[in-house]
Amino acid sequence: MEHSLAADFGNESAMTLNQVGVGRDVRIRVLRGPGCDRLRDLGFCEQVQVRKLTGGRNPICSVCGTRLAISRELAEQVLVAPMH
């Protein structure tokens, strides 16, 4: 179900947080995977704007004015779309 939702966003938007370039602003479209609840508790919710600050082993993102570091496995569970 979630996979098909992600597919609906089209090629351009179906990317994970890991695939986003450093310094880019994106909007979270879908969370999928076992870490979803914890990600939402941390502020990674659908429709929220995120800026990726660093890449690497644990990418750092700015979410609602807070810097959060999450593992690449968790970042893979966050599907985002670029801001227009």
22 vs 51: CA distance, rounded Å: 8
Among the residue ranges 2-10, 12-20, 65-73, the one whose residues contact another protein (CB under 8 A): 65-73
DSSP string, 38-65: HHHHHT--TT-EEEEEE-SSS-EEEETT
**Binder to another protein among 4, 47, 80, 81 (CB under 8 A)?**
47
Tell me which stretch binds another protein (CB under 8 A): 2-10, 13-21, 58-66: 58-66
How far apart, in whole angstroms, are the C-alpha atoms of residue 66 and residue 11? Answer: 29
Q: Tell whether residue 22 is a contact of another protein (CB under 8 A).
A: no
Residue from 14, 28, 31, 70 touching another protein (CB under 8 A): that is: 70
